Structure 1
Amino acid sequence: MTDDQLPPDVRPGAEHRIRMGQPPRNRADAVRKLVWILPWLVFLGAPVRDLDSGAHSTAATVAGWLALVSFTGVYLTLVFRNMGRPFSGPTVGALVALLGTLAVVLCLTLGGAWIGLFVYVSVTCGATLPQRVAYWAVGGNTLAMLLVGLHVGSDDWSLVLVVLLLGFAMMGVKQLVRTTVELRKARVTVAQLAANEERLRLARDLHDLLGHSLSLITLKSELAGRMLPDHPDKAAQQVADIEQVSRQALVDVRAAVSGYRRTRLSDELAGAQVALNAADVIAEIPAEPDLDGLAEEGESALAWALREAVTNVVRHSGASRCTVEVLRRQTLDGPVWELSVEDNGSKGSGAGPGNGLTGLTERLEKAGGTLEAGRTRHGFLLVARVPAGTPAPVGSGA
């Protein structure tokens, strides 16, 4: 089973990953998301310095601190809650309007040092409001900031561009989060559909394999039971037929199970991509190679060779890059399918072939293939070859 097939909460590194568009699972997850938000509070430095400067009366200073704490609390609540289970539309609209009102009132009453509050209003509009509404809200907030800045005589006009761009940037981030969530749901749905389809195929194949045989066994058992008192010879013949039918059914079931268990090269290529990525190895792997003409036995041998090679790269090579190729070549001995796995690791696999390579050599020899493995100037190279066969007819196999 690959890491992608594991539940999201138990994949390697999942406990340290910020899940986009999902609520915090625990306190540590909540802290990580809060740490992601807190750096944006840098624009509150000017209001804090203004209140600490003593330029306002005691009443104004107390009111300013209360308003600033309220503004920050509403902002953090909106943005943090929006990462998981957002408020309803009317609630979001009311809280955004409250933020905008506080920004305007505080700037008009306490001075231009508070103009940075419009940055948070813009970010909140882009992150929490619907897309169409957010366009107008960000633009309106920018215009309000411009007018308030002109009224209070603010000279920090670079914030106008910051307010506009951050608002639209947060709209893009919100769209990215939404797309990520939808892709995650679609991925789960595809996996469920694939599992359901596999169960249906298994049920269909078992019905085709055993339905007729079991019906025949039942019929002959009833005949043998009726013949046993008066015609023991005929009953014995029916029992012999039952044994033959049951043995054939067992052979068919074993063949079907072998087909289900057969290692497929396409599956191993996908698994190799996941394993190498998890080990921070840059992987160059063909996504969907054309394997027409590759016999089942040869495909299984190459799949096992790929699995062993990738395992060695991940565990022993210390490589940072790995290249996998699957090609059909014409050699002096005839056409062959060739799998090559090359890495740039500095650590070899030992002075001689290990048990894994020895087992691969034997497996490939059974399929009529060969194995070459050894160090190169830049790393380690494994090449497995099997004879090329003719494409299997459509509909063959289990």
Structure 2
Amino acid sequence: MTTAIGRPPENRRQALVKFAWIGIWLAFMGAPVSDLLGDEHSRWADALGALGLVVFVAVYFGLVFRHTARPLPRTRVAAVLGVLLALALALSLTLGPPWLVLFVYVSVSIGATLPMSAARWLIPAVTATMVGVALTHESPREMITALVVPALLGGFAMSGVRQLVRTTIELREARATVAQLAANEERLRLARDLHDLLGHSLSLITLKSELAGRMLPDSPEQAARQVADIEQVSRQALIDVREAVTGYRRPTLPGELAGARTALAAAGITGSVPDCPYDDVPEEREAVLAWALREAVTNVVRHSGARGCTVALARCETLNGPVLELVVRDDGRGASAPPGNGLTGLAERVGAVGGTVETGPGAGRGQDKGFVLTVRVPLKVTG
């Protein structure tokens, strides 16, 4: 599983993947390494050059890897960039043109760590510095031609990547805020509905209780009638509360499809989940399909080990009338054990509305052949 954009690595494997993505660009360090392996410099120069290169790479990795996971303070970023630029200047001035490539990494570091307002003039400034250093050596034209475009393009490309990461983080935070606001709004709506349902009933129960208390010594029969009214009002209030809570607990297809999309993404599973195109499904049938989708996605996330999952929803015509068909297909390990309590309960729930449940292996081969769950429920409510 790879690291999501804008999130720091959560384990060693994700850290290694991120390290590999950053380290692959060190392939362009071939020119300095080849220069060190040649015979153009003394041993002391080679030793100092190797030390400088190791320090440069370590600082570059520390800055880019650390900053993209958890942003560093602006002053620390500026200090580290200053160290990289100083090393690039010193090594390229003393050891020759092959070391000019270090300026490209300085440019990339600026794009990866600084906002566009600063990067848009610092990247050209670093590139111009590289050109100035190249002019101090013999035959600079080839090195300038080969490195100016990578320095400018790499720096501004990393600025775009940085903006993408920042936008992704802001979008994720906004989605979390919207979800929290929706949950708060749902709580407020439930509180208002319960107040509307129980406010009048509880007030009536209180008044009748007080009235029955005053009648009890002298008019026990009238007090008994008031107590009977209290019992009737309380029973009706209990029925109203149960109906309200049942309405809140009933799952819906649009809600479960959105939840499936989120659950698969959170588990690192590539998901294809459609929006619900039908708004005329009877509530009881919709609730059954929603429960089926929830059970299927839960099994995919917890037990399948799948890399991908596809959800399909379609209206089909059969000899017995129209049905709504839900198909959940994954590419995981499949099901070798007998159906568990979840699938058994699902089959009973679907059967109660006249629907059917089918399960079986996918079309793949080998161990990861996958698993398919198909649920069909009739759309017509028979008497």
Matches within 5 A, 1:297-312: 297-307=284-294
Secondary structure of the equivalent of 1:116?
Answer: helix
The residue number in structure 2 matching 1:211 is 199
The residue number in structure 1 matching 2:127 is 142
1:195 aligns with 2:205: no
How many residue pairs get aligned? The number is 369
User: 1:387 & 1:215 partners in 2: Cα distance?
Assistant: 43
1:86 aligns with 2:78: no
Amino acid at match of 2:158: M
User: Compared with structure 1, are the counterparts of its residues 381 and 27 closer, same or farther at alpha carbon in structure 2 (3 Å cutoff)?
Assistant: closer
How far the C-alpha of 1:175 sits from its partner, in A, is 0.9
The residue number in structure 1 matching 2:247 is 259
The residue number in structure 2 matching 1:6 is none
Match of 1:385 among 370, 377, 382: 377
1:127 aligns with 2:112: yes
Contact persistence 1:51–1:65 (CA under 8 A): yes
The residue number in structure 2 matching 1:18 is 3
Q: TM-score, normalised by structure 2?
A: 0.78
How far the C-alpha of 1:255 sits from its partner, in A, is 1.1
User: 2:88 & 2:333 partners in 1: Cα distance?
Assistant: 61
Amino acid at match of 2:32: P
User: 1:26 & 1:343 partners in 2: Cα distance?
Assistant: 29
User: 1:67 & 1:362 partners in 2: Cα distance?
Assistant: 71
User: 2:21 & 2:361 partners in 1: Cα distance?
Assistant: 45
Q: Which moved more, 1:175-184 or 1:140-149?
A: 140-149
Unaligned runs of 5+ in 2: 364-370
Contact persistence 2:31–2:99 (CA under 8 A): yes
How far the C-alpha of 1:250 sits from its partner, in A, is 0.9
Contact persistence 1:51–1:64 (CA under 8 A): yes
The residue number in structure 2 matching 1:96 is 81
Contact persistence 1:281–1:319 (CA under 8 A): yes
Secondary structure of the equivalent of 1:202?
Answer: helix
Secondary structure of the equivalent of 1:324?
Answer: strand
Amino acid at match of 1:89: R
The one-character-per-residue Cα deviations of 1:354-390 (angstroms, maximum 9, x if unpaired) are: 98777666545644x443748899696835233357x
Matches within 5 A, 1:159-308: 159-273=147-261, 284-291=272-279, 293-307=280-294
Matches within 5 A, 1:366-385: 366-367=352-353, 369-371=354-356, 373=358, 382=374, 384-385=376-377
How far the C-alpha of 1:150 sits from its partner, in A, is 3.4
User: 2:64 & 2:380 partners in 1: Cα distance?
Assistant: 59
Amino acid at match of 1:385: V
Unaligned runs of 5+ in 1: 1-15, 390-398
Q: Which moved more, 1:259-268 or 1:46-55?
A: 46-55
Q: Which moved more, 1:154-163 or 1:132-141?
A: 154-163
Q: TM-score, normalised by structure 1?
A: 0.75
Secondary structure of the equivalent of 1:83?
Answer: helix
Secondary structure of the equivalent of 1:138?
Answer: helix
The one-character-per-residue Cα deviations of 1:208-242 (angstroms, maximum 9, x if unpaired) are: 11111111111111111111112211111111111
Amino acid at match of 2:244: A
User: Compared with structure 1, are the counterparts of its residues 202 and 285 closer, same or farther at alpha carbon in structure 2 (3 Å cutoff)?
Assistant: same
User: 1:380 & 1:386 partners in 2: Cα distance?
Assistant: 20
User: 2:87 & 2:7 partners in 1: Cα distance?
Assistant: 29
How far the C-alpha of 1:79 sits from its partner, in A, is 1.9
Contact persistence 2:270–2:308 (CA under 8 A): yes
Matches within 5 A, 1:47-66: 47-51=32-36, 53=38, 55-57=40-42, 60-61=45-46, 63-65=48-50
1:116 aligns with 2:101: yes
Contact persistence 1:126–1:167 (CA under 8 A): yes
How far the C-alpha of 1:322 sits from its partner, in A, is 3.9
User: 1:111 & 1:126 partners in 2: Cα distance?
Assistant: 25
How far the C-alpha of 1:190 sits from its partner, in A, is 1.3
User: 1:270 & 1:17 partners in 2: Cα distance?
Assistant: 23
Secondary structure of the equivalent of 1:115?
Answer: helix
Contact persistence 1:224–1:234 (CA under 8 A): yes
Secondary structure of the equivalent of 2:135?
Answer: helix
Amino acid at match of 1:78: L
User: 2:38 & 2:170 partners in 1: Cα distance?
Assistant: 49
User: 1:214 & 1:176 partners in 2: Cα distance?
Assistant: 55
User: Compared with structure 1, are the counterparts of its residues 70 and 377 closer, same or farther at alpha carbon in structure 2 (3 Å cutoff)?
Assistant: closer
Q: Which moved more, 1:317-326 or 1:156-165?
A: 317-326
Q: Which moved more, 1:274-283 or 1:213-222?
A: 274-283
What value does the CA root-mean-square deviation take over the aligned residues?
4.0
User: 1:222 & 1:52 partners in 2: Cα distance?
Assistant: 100
